[in-house]
């Protein structure tokens, strides 16, 4: 039997190598993807092979992740429950795709991952893998074994699996679009996260005393420049992570409803995502009309829930993408943002597709809006409310009665 394991180099997936070898008498091939997690992937390769993996793959997929996963999410204003920019969720279908690709190339019987039975990632990976290749068996050692963390560490000692000394007590998952921080004292929802939980974002009180202004340019709904300097997706996101993080912007702390039904306290660092999504939504307000915006907010929410819940490959997402893409042809222009000690504020925006008409909006003498029209509008607009009110009181104003 041959198994391809999604390998991070951490305790769970390192123990999984030994467990799969023992339980299934299987050959293990490991796969590590570079999604922008800023880790030494050579170390993962060396560790994997030292534990008995017969082969290891390392793939740099940062550009693909940015262009094919993050950028569609920007157009959809991807925020789960209005707060989480889907950073981890967006990476999982790409991991599933590469797992299946390697498994097919290696003529493997199964793929494996290190997800627990309590989280969302098991769903995201399993559903995507089965959609891509239903003939591949899926092995999830941590979920199947059901060991506690202490039992897992004891097994690692018995099998000679190196246990690294962690620099903190948190469980971290990070990629180009964000950093997820869990466990330790963060599981107590009443406590403020300590400063040692954060790496990307400067604490607001320690951020620069002078505000930073940035100008983000968009073409067809996608960010293309910072301060009029054209940038490729990977470069632009990395640059904004640095700028926004330095100014204390991008910390997200909320109670999240996991797909499996558990309410979980989640803490994230998403500097670039926070800034880009706010700018994109503001530019959409300028170029889309009221009806488009109202419907798109509803569609964006469905899109975000599909991705969060592991349904990246569901045909509904492709259908929604087609609608979203049709709106983004107007989303061209720039948005100026002020960053200051953890706060973010849009201070200006411009587009050749703008629906903002100064001659209608102004209160000056140059206004072309006929204010007399408002009287008739108010009469018709308020009619259902007035009728309901006077019917409830069993009276009828003379004007309506006649």
User: Average pLDDT for consecutive 10-residue bins of the chain (402 residues)?
Assistant: 95 91 96 92 93 96 97 98 97 98 98 91 97 97 82 86 71 95 93 96 98 98 98 97 98 95 95 98 98 98 98 98 98 98 98 93 87 91 91 70 48
Q: What is the pLDDT of residue 337?
A: 98
Which residues are catalytic, by number?
12, 92, 121, 171
pLDDT in tens, 317-360: 999 999 999 999 999 999 999 999 999 999 999 999 999 998 88
Tokens of 391: 């019917």
Q: What is the pLDDT of residue 399?
A: 60
Q: What is the pLDDT of residue 135?
A: 97
Q: What is the pLDDT of residue 205?
A: 97
Nearest to 32 by CA among 63, 60, 62: 60
Q: What is the pLDDT of residue 309?
A: 97
CA angle 130, 136, 137 (to 5 degrees): 100
Q: What is the pLDDT of residue 358?
A: 87
Q: Are 235 and 342 in contact (CB under 8 A)?
A: no
SS (H, E, C) 221-286: CEEEEECCEECCHHHHHHHHHHHHHHCCCCEEEEEEECCCCCEEEEEEECHHHHHHHHHHHHHHHH
Nearest to 60 by CA among 78, 87, 79, 39: 39
Q: What is the pLDDT of residue 125?
A: 98
Q: What is the pLDDT of residue 402?
A: 46
Q: How many other C-beta atoms lie within 10 A of the C-beta of residue 163?
A: 12
Please state the pTM of the whole predicted model.
Answer: 0.93
Q: What is the CA radius of gyration of the chain?
A: 26
Q: Which residues pair with 5 in a beta bridge?
A: 30, 112
Q: What is the pLDDT of residue 159?
A: 86
Domains of the chain: 2-169 (3.40.50.620), 172-350 (3.90.1260.10), 368-401 (no CATH)
Distance CA 400, CA 389 (A): 13
Burial 63-99 (b: 16+ CB within 10 A, else e): ebbbeebbbbbbbbbbbbeeebbbbbbbbbbbbbbbb
């Amino acid at each position: 039997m041959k198994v391809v394991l999604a390998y991070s180099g951490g305790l769970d997936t390192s123990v999984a190598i030994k467990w799969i070898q023992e339980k299934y008498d299987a050959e293990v091939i490991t796969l590590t993807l570079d999604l922008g997690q800023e880790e030494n992937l050579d170390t993962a390769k060396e560790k994997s092979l030292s534990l008995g993996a017969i082969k290891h793959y390392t793939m740099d997929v940062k550009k693909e992740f940015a262009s094919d996963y993050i950028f569609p999410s920007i157009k959809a204003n991807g925020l789960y429950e209005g707060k989480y920019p889907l950073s981890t969720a967006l990476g999982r279908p790409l991991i599933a795709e590469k797992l299946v690709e390697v498994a097919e190339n290696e003529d493997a019987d199964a793929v494996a991952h290190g997800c627990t039975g309590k989280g969302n990632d098991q769903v995201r990976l399993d559903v995507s893998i089965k959609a891509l290749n239903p003939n591949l068996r899926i092995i999830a050692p941590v979920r199947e074994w059901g060991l506690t963390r202490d039992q897992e560490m004891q097994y690692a000692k018995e099998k000679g699996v190196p246990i690294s000394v962690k620099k903190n007590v948190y469980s971290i998952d990070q990629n180009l679009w964000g950093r997820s921080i869990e466990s330790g004292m963060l599981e107590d929802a009443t406590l403020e996260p300590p400063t040692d939980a954060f790496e990307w974002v400067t604490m607001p009180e320690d951020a620069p005393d002078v505000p930073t202004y940035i100008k983000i340019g968009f073409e067809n709904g996608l960010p293309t420049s910072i301060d009029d300097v054209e940038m490729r997706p990977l470069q632009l996101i990395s640059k904004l992570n640095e700028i926004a993080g330095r100014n204390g912007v991008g910390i997200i702390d909320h109670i999240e409803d996991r797909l499996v039904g558990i309410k979980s306290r989640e803490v994230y660092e998403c500097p670039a995502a926070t800034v880009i999504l706010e700018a994109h939504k503001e530019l959409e307000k300028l170029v889309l009309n009221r009806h488009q915006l109202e419907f798109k907010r509803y569609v964006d929410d469905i899109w975000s829930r599909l991705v969060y819940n592991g349904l990246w490959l569901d045909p509904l997402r492709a259908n929604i993408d087609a609608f979203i893409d049709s709106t983004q042809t107007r989303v061209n222009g720039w948005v100026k943002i002020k960053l200051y000690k953890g706060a973010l504020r849009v201070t200006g925006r411009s587009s050749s597709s703008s629906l903002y008409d100064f001659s209608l909006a102004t209160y000056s003498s140059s206004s072309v809006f006929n204010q007399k029209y408002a009287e008739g509008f108010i009469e018709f607009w308020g009619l259902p409310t007035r009728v309901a009110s006077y019917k409830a009181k069993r009276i009828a104003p003379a004007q309506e009665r006649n």
